[in-house]
Amino acid sequence: MSNYLLIPFLPLAAFLINILLGRKYLREKAHWVSILAVAGSWVVAVMTLGDVLSGKTLNQDLYTWIVSGSFKVSVGFLIDQLTVVMLIVVTTCSMLIHIYSVGYMHGDNGYYRFFAYLSLFTFCMLMLVMANNFLQLYFGWEGVGLCSYFLIGYYFEKKSASDAGKKAFIVNRFGDFGFGLGVIMIFLTFGTTYYEPVFGQVGGFANQTVNFLGYDVHLMTLIALLLFCGAIGKSAQMPLHVWLPDAMEGPTPVSALIHAATMVTAGVFMVARCNPIFSLSETALMVVALTGAITSLFSATIGLVQNDIKRIIAYSTISQLGYMFLACGVGAYTAGIFHLYTHAFFKALLFLCAGSVMHAMAGELDLQKMGGLKKYMPVTYFTMLLASLSIAGVPGFAGFFSKDEILWMAYSGPSPVGKFVWLIGTIVAFLTAFYSFRLIFLTFHGKFRGTHEQEHHLHESPKVMTIPLVLLCLGAIFSGYVGVPNLIGGIFGIEHSNWVAEFMKPVLGHPEGHGTHSEEWMVMGISVIAGFSGIGLAALFYLIKTDIPVKLAQQFNAIYKVLFNKYYVDELYSFLIVRPTIWISEKVLIGITDAKIIEAIVNGVPKGIGVLSQQLRKVQTGFLQHYAAIMAAGVLIIIALMLLR
Amino acid sequence: MVPLNWYLMLSTVVFMIGVFGFLTRRNIIIMFMSVELMLNGVNISLISFSHFLQDMRGQILVFFIITVAAAEAAIGLAIIIALFRNKTTAHVDEMTEMKG
Amino acid sequence: MEQAIMNNLGFPILSALIFLPIAGAALLLLMPRAKESLIKWASLLVSIIAFALSIPLFTNFDKTTHLMQFKERYEWIPSWNVTYYLGLDGISVLFVLLSTLITILCVLISWNSIKTKTKEFYISILIMEGAMIGVFCSLDFMLFYLFWEAMLIPMYLLIGVWGGPNRIYAAVKFFLYTLIGSVLMLVGIIVLYFYAGKTFDILELMTKTYPYQLQFWLFWAFFAAFAVKVPMFPVHTWLPDAHTEAPTAGSVILAAVLIKMGAYGFIRFSLPLFPEASKAMTPVMLTLSVIAIIYGAVICLAQTDLKRLIAYSSVSHMGFVTLGIFALNSQGVEGGILQMINHGIVTGALFLSVGVIYDRTHTRQIADYGGVASVMPVYAAAFMVFTLASIGLPATNGFIGEFLIILGGFAANQWAGVLAATGIIIGAGYMLWLYQRVFFMETNQKVAGLNDVNMREIITLLPMVLLIFWIGVYPNTFLGFMHESVRHLLERVNTGSVHEINIAKNIMEILK
């Protein structure tokens, strides 16, 4: 236990040291603390992996956090197969990105602050994945959101950056609203928020209905959907995806770590973790699958036409997260987590490469002003190319194995929407390949389209940045080989080559696809063809006949505009939610209720008394005789009354 | 022996002269004197009752009233002089500071 | 039945706590007006000694019983059966500690900002402290009412003398608003006195049962006093004015302690004295609470004045407190009490922080700020902690309170829980927007070149930061105080039986 404690608490210590001492004492050396801490966490995480492989899992409380009546919850840790995969992903990515940041953030004013936040993020993320109860999950969940807020708004002098940070936090709060209610429902149903008893008893509630806000609903569907609200927010699924593209205002290593590799996958992790609940509700699973599928298609189409290098990768992230939910929604949690794991490597790599390009271009993000960078920055080019091949699902690369697993499970699984989401998934595979290579071709091929000064400035990034690129690249290529489909493994005479599925079985189960081998080959073939044709089309558009995209954009101007403006979702929210709320606040609550109703009464009563006394004061003439006469009259009246009695 | 009623009538007459004087006259000194008249009207009735009932308490009270009236006269006249110095008049209609 | 266990410290600690600041105030009265620093140091010393004196309440408190502790009882006005009766239980003990702590911080934050009538200012603050502690300790209704009204006077002076430009209006409004409520409570107290056989002893009154009709009317009489203090919707409008115009220390005391007394009153008096009426009124109270939560939060979005915004956020947060209390389950009530402490810490800290920057810029307009984080990084960090606690981020105290309240509220009434949770979303919205406009973006000309917080200000803000994390990470230290008292309270509320008696007859008896 005490060893495992090191995993989250080393980064926490680094955060505390950096935030307290960084500004005055550490300054340019701030990275050492953070890197050593996260490296320590990584080492312990690898040892933990060894423990879990040898069959040792752990579920233990550290201390009791909140007690109130029958409600009791602890800070505690659960180490099992799912946790350990996440631990490896988080610590590996975090460590490499910490190292990369040394080069990328060099000379920045808030150097210490940056590393402090990164460490805090790592701590929160690790607390999230290691939690053994829902409330601690919620702690990590909000904690990573907070770090994301800090880091998106890292350049806080820029209005756009601080806007984006705030937006991320608030949009996530909408999701957490549902998530929190889900946790409360879980407590009220099971009397506890610990995973183990909840997942243990879940079968007994399978067909129960509950009255929620006056409607009778299926209990498990309700809980699952409430929890999924949180996942929608955190993992930027429709309709709460709007914060993620804006989050690219943060420094690029942040986009790589938080908004690609780790934090945004927390939603997928949570759904996988709660698979006993989700599996009991067909409706909830269908919602998950459709949300994932639609989001992935929706954001892939936006990605086609964007020009901002980081936003394209951001939309690609949303799309790939949709893929993961799609997998969870068809019951293939293992496939979802497997994709999460491979995606972490190639997506982090894509972002870091984009960061490297920005570094060379002095912060320029517009693809239209790049081109021909291949010869200036070969390492970046090759690693990015390999990452793109991986995301495009080219056989042999990590992305291929996980994507194929998802598509096959969707096609062959028992889900009623399986075929439909498989179709969407395949289309998305094509689109993904297309926009990924559009990015590569526009950035690295052709002629340089920027200014002379920029061209002069072009250079490969320093070693401290390129080495993490190369290491992540190894992950992007080889990480998939732990989950080679049994079909392919069989050819090479390896039984159970889908090793990751076997590994995860105790936690996530492993639904088998119900299809023939030929069908499996067909699904695989179609996705490979989709990937290659996407690459081919991108090559045609952006290498060979470069005038086609412009013509297409002119011909389908309306569609192009809608896509380019991201389906106007931001504008819609501003119109439907933000502005009416502020309008109500200003005009109705302040203007009418407070000012015209409550204050009218509050100030009106004294005013009324004032008016009355204005009249009464006229009795007070100031003439002595008047007073005397009134007094005499009073005396007479009193005497009269006494005599008449 | 003079009956009690006569004394009481005298007392009433003196008191009413004081009341009417207080209500009708505008000179503050006269009004002040009217107040003294009222006090003395009351004194007469107190003394006559005291004599009639053979109870000394009435006369004790009268001594009190005379003492208080003396003190009041001293303070009242002082106030009137102060007022007169400020206003150069003893006419009460011109003193309407208490108007609400 | 013995209602209270004796003071285990061997000396009358509660009387000492009440009268030490008042004696200190008397001492200040004797000091020469010109020696300002002597006055400041003396009042600081008095407030620190009072705080030190209150620490045994924390360490020697017996958490295993709901009975009153540190009890003191002396005859006071025997002919009316009024006693000088003090004691603490798990519900009130934390508020005494909060009061003593807040007073120190108020003295510190006013160090340089109060330039006129310094002596009177510190006298007011110390008298305030004594009265506040008295309110929380009193077990006799007459004594309670005495302290309850005595609090108004120094607060009225603080706002009216050292306040902003519109201070007289705000002070009078505050005074009248609260007085009207209190007077209705006084009527209620007197009715209780006669009905229950001429006793003001709160513990004795709590053992009796009252007919429902009587409970109903008394509940609303007490409601008038408590709802105004909380403040609940729709009697909240004095709060923004009072907060905006009050000097920093005044706002801090107002936010941290004074408005807690309303909610404290509900828990201490309304629930145990009128259990059936409280239960019957739950729908009304929950509705008002939810309205306050959402109303207060939405109205914050359109505020342009720093202090006004925080004042309205108090309305929203206190809505959570009343929601928790009237959820009438242990999570709700304990969450409510904890949230009162939390709100005292967080909103107190926010007002302290506003005071820090107001001393430098002399403006409360949000639009006059911007980019403060670049010039005052330490200050910005502290304010960030307070902001996060205010929006209820896990690991800060706000989360524990709000979560328990929403849990309890949801269990009591699903709609109440769901709607209250929306308040958290809006809460994040206005607080982060405030933070952005003040601390982020380009540095405004008016804040360029400001000095970061100095040592005195750090000492003022640091206890709040530490408490926020202490309660957030290990709330059991504080929740532990409440368990027994709350359990006992809820037993009383939930098992009370209704005795229907002809109301007219009772009123006749009362009037006789």
- What DSSP letter does each residue of A211-246 carry, written as one string? EETTEEEEHHHHHHHHHHHHHHHHTT-TTSTTHHHH
B5 inside 8 A of chain A by CB: no
CA A613 to chain centre: 65
Q: What is the DSSP string of C257-320?
A: IITHHHHHHIIIIIHHHSHHHHHHHHHHHHHHHHHHHHHHHHHHTT--BHHHHHHHHHHHHHHH
In tens, the pLDDT along C458-479 reads 998 999 999 999 999 999 888 8
Asked whether C68 and C3 are in contact (CB, 8 A), the reply is: yes
Q: In this complex, how many residue pairs, one in chain A and one in chain B, have their CB atoms less than 8 Å apart?
A: 32
Rounded to whole angstroms, the Cα distance separating A12 from A118 reads: 10
How much is the pLDDT for C7?
52
Q: Which two tokens stand for residue A637?
A: 């009246």
Interface test with B, best of A624, A635, A636 (most B CBs within 10 A): A624
E strand intervals along C136-214:
none
Would you call C84 helix, strand, or coil by DSSP?
strand
What residues does C86 pair with on adjacent strands?
A: C72, C138
| Whether the predicted pLDDT of A440 surpasses 70 | yes
Which residues lie across from A66 on neighbouring strands? A73
Closest CB to C237 among A67, A146, A599? A599
- Min Cα–Cα distance to chain C from A240, Å: 14
Give the residue-averaged pLDDT of A365-382: 82
Task: Let me know: does B17 contact B24? Beta carbons within 8 Å.
Answer: no
Q: CA–CA separation, C239 vs C173, rounded Å? A: 9
**pLDDT recorded at residue C8:** 59
The answer to whether C339 and C407 are in contact (CB under 8 A) is: no
Chain C neighbours, 3+ Cβ pairs < 8 A: A
Name residues whose C-beta falls within 8 Å of residue C444's C-beta, 6 or more positions apart in sequence.
Answer: C368, C369, C370, C371
Are chains B and C in touch, 3+ Cβ pairs below 8 Å? no
Q: Are C473 and C402 a contacting pair, CB within 8 Å?
A: no
**Which secondary-structure segment (H or E) carries A67?**
strand A58-68
Which whole number is the average pLDDT over B21-39? 90
C202-259 residue pLDDT tens: 888 888 888 888 888 999 999 999 999 888 888 888 898 899 899 989 999 998 999 8
Contacts of A606 in chain C (CB under 8 A): 176
Mutate to test the interface with B, among A625, A627, A630, A639 (most CBs of B within 10 A): A625
Nearest CA in chain A to B32: A624
Q: Residue B96: its chain A contacts at CB < 8 A?
A: 621-623
The set of residues, in sequence order, having a beta carbon less than 8 Å from that of A559 and lying 6+ positions away, is none
Mean pLDDT of A472-498: 78
Over the stretch B37-88, which tens digit does the pLDDT of each residue have? 999 999 999 999 999 999 899 999 999 999 999 999 999 999 999 988 888 8
Measured between alpha carbons, how far is residue C123 from residues C17, C25, C40, C118 in Å? 16, 5, 10, 9
More confident residue, A645 or C168: C168
Q: From CA A550, how far away is CA A166, in angstroms rounded?
A: 36
Which chain A residues touch B22 with a CB distance below 8 Å? Answer: 628
The minimum CA-CA distance between B23 and chain A, rounded to whole Å, is 6
Query: Is the distance from CB of A454 to CB of A368 less than 8 angstroms?
Result: no
User: Which ranges constitute the DSSP H helices of A361-417?
Assistant: 378-391, 398-412
Question: What pLDDT, on the 0 to 100 scale, is given for residue C5?
Answer: 46
**Strands A209-212 and A71-79, how do they pair?**
unpaired
Question: Which of B34, B80, B92 is the best substitution to test chain A (most A C-beta atoms within 10 A)?
Answer: B92
Residues of B in Cβ contact (< 8 Å) with A625 = 23-24, 26, 92-93
Instruction: Please state, in angstroms and rounded to a whole number, the distance separating the CA atoms of residues C125 and C42.
Output: 12
Give percent helix, percent strand, percent coil of chain C, each to the nearest 5: 75, 5, 20
CB–CB contact A625 B26 (8 Å): yes
CB atoms near residue C34 (< 10 Å) = 9
Residue A644, C-beta contacts closer than 8 angstroms, at least 6 positions apart: none
Model confidence pLDDT, tens digit, residues C244-265: 899 989 999 998 999 899 999 9
Residues from chain B that touch A616, judged by Cβ atoms under 8 A, are 100
Q: Tell whether A54 is within 8 A of chain B (Cβ).
A: no
pLDDT at B65: 93
Question: At A13, is the secondary structure helix, strand, or coil?
Answer: helix
Q: How far is A130 from chain C (nearest CA, A)?
A: 16
pLDDT band at residue A402 under the 50/70/90 scheme: confident
Dist. CA A625–CA C95, nearest whole Å: 60
Amino acid at C2: E
pLDDT at C373: 86
CA distance to partner chain B, nearest, from residue A621 (Å): 5
Q: Is the pLDDT reported for residue A366 higher than 60? A: yes
Give the span between the Cα atoms of C46 and C107, in whole angstroms: 10
The percentage of residues in chain A with a pLDDT greater than 90, rounded to a whole number, is 4
Chain B nearest C-alpha distance from A614 (Å)? 9
Q: CA neighbours within 13 Å on the CB side: how many for A185?
A: 27
- Give the integer Cα–Cα distance in Å for C276 and C282: 10
Does A490 have pLDDT greater than 80?
no
Confidence bin at B15 (pLDDT 50/70/90): very high
Which SS3 state, helix, strand or coil, does residue C94 take?
Answer: helix
Q: Which two three-digit tokens encode residue C238?
A: 């004095």
Instruction: Tell me whether strands C4-6 and C68-77 are parallel, antiparallel or unpaired.
Output: parallel
pLDDT at residue C504 above 60? no
> What whole-number distance in Å separates Cα of residue A299 and Cα of residue A431?
10
- C395 contacts A157? CB cut-off 8 A: no
Contact C302 A153 (CB under 8 A): no
When CB atoms are compared, the residue of C377, C421, C479 closest to A180 is C421
**Non-local CB neighbours of A241 within 8 Å, separated by 6+ positions:** A295, A299, A318, A569
Supply the pLDDT for residue C21. 92
- Within 10 A of B31 (CB to CB), how many other CB atoms are there? 21
The position carrying tokens 């009123």 is: C507
Is the confidence at residue A639, as pLDDT, over 80? yes
Who wins on pLDDT, A362 or C95? C95
Nearest Cα of chain B lies from the Cα of A619 at a distance, in angstroms, of 8
Asked whether the beta carbons of residue C425 and residue A158 sit closer than 8 angstroms, the reply is no
Q: Which residue has the higher pLDDT, B10 or A250?
A: B10
Q: How confident is the model at residue C501, as a pLDDT?
A: 40
A542 and A436 Cβ atoms separated by less than 8 Å: no
| Closest by Cα among A266, A273, A227 to A244 | A266
pLDDT for B50 equals: 92
Q: Average of pLDDT values for C354-367?
A: 88
Q: Which tokens belong to A32?
A: 């050492």
Q: Please give the structure tokens belonging to residue C352.
A: 């302290």
Contacts of residue C59, defined as CB under 8 A and 6 or more positions apart, other chains included, come to none
Record: contact B95-A624, CB cut-off 8 A: yes
pLDDT at B18: 93
Average pLDDT, chain C: 87
Question: CB of C87 within 8 A of CB of C35?
Answer: no
Contact C43, C249 (CB under 8 A): no
**What's the helix, strand, coil split of chain B in %, to 5?**
80, 0, 15
In C, which residues are within 8 Å of A594 by CB distance?
237, 299
B92 and A625 in contact by Cβ < 8 A?
Answer: yes
- DSSP β-bridge partners for residue A212: A215
pLDDT over 70, % of chain A: 99
Task: Please report, to the nearest 10 degrees, the dihedral formed by the alpha carbons of residues A467, A468, A469, A470 taken in order.
Answer: 60
Q: Which residue of B has its CA nearest to A620?
A: B100
What pLDDT is recorded for position C104?
A: 92
Residues on chain A touching B31 (C-beta within 8 angstroms):
624
* Contact indicator for A234, A149 with CB cutoff of 8 Å: no
Neighbouring-strand partners of residue C140: C201
Q: What is the pLDDT of residues A126-145, one digit of tens each?
A: 999 998 899 999 998 999 88
Give the CA angle between residues A122, A126, A127 to the nearest 5°: 120
Between C45 and C65, the more confident residue is C45
pLDDT at B12 > cutoff 90: yes
Give the span between the Cα atoms of A125 and A144, in whole angstroms: 6
Neighbours of chain B (3+ CB pairs under 8 A): A
CA C244 from centroid of its chain's CA atoms: 17
- Residue C440 to chain A, least CA–CA distance (Å): 5
Please tell me the predicted confidence (pLDDT) of residue B37. 93
Chain A CB contacts of B92 under 8 Å are 623-625
Chain A from 427 to 486: CB within 8 A of any C CB: none
pLDDT at residue C446 in the model: 82
Q: Which two tokens stand for residue B97?
A: 């500071």
Residue C505: per-residue pLDDT: 47
Residue keyed to tokens 């009078």: C172
| Residues counted in chain A | 645
Residue A443 burial by CB count (10 A; 0-12/13-18/19+): exposed, middle or buried? buried
Sign, Cα dihedral of C213, C214, C217, C219: negative
- Mean pLDDT value of segment C78-91: 89
Q: What is residue A59's three-state secondary structure?
A: strand
User: Where do we find the tokens 């497997």?
Assistant: A338
Task: Let me know: does A287 contact A222? Beta carbons within 8 Å.
Answer: no
Three-state DSSP state, C6: strand
Q: Contact, A319 vs A260, CB < 8 A?
A: no
Measured between beta carbons, the chain A residues lying within 8 angstroms of C441 are 156-159, 162
Express each pLDDT in C369-416 by its tens digit: 888 888 888 899 999 999 999 998 888 998 999 999 999 998 888 888
| Cβ of residue A615 closer than 8 Å to a chain B Cβ | no
Residues of B (10-39) whose Cβ lies below 8 Å from A: 19, 22-24, 26, 31
Q: Do A590 and C302 touch (CB under 8 A)?
A: yes
Q: What is the pLDDT of residues A1-47, one digit of tens each?
A: 678 888 888 889 989 888 888 788 777 888 888 888 989 999 988 88
pTM summary value: 0.86
Angstrom distance (rounded) from CA C487 to CA A567:
54
What pLDDT is attached to residue C499?
Answer: 42
| CA-based nearest distance A159→chain C, Å | 5
| DSSP run (H or E) holding C130 | helix C118-137
Can you give the pLDDT at residue B100?
A: 65
Task: Kindly tell me if the per-residue pLDDT of C503 is higher than 50.
Answer: no
Over 50: is that where the pLDDT of C178 sits?
yes
**Is a pLDDT exceeding 80 seen at residue C170?**
yes
Q: CB neighbours of C450 closer than 8 A, spacing ≥ 6?
A: C357, C360, C361, C372, C375, C376
Residues of B in Cβ contact (< 8 Å) with A619? 100
- Alpha helices by DSSP H, listed for C362-396, are 372-375, 377-390
Secondary structure letter of residue C197 according to DSSP: T
Q: Would you tell me which residues 200-239 of chain A have a C-beta closer than 8 angstroms to some C-beta of chain C?
A: 212-213
First to last CA, chain A: 97
For residue A427, how many other CB atoms are within 10 A of its CB?
Answer: 16
pLDDT confidence tier of residue C318, bands split at 50, 70 and 90: very high
Q: Which of C312, C390, C252 is nearest to A598 (CA)?
A: C312
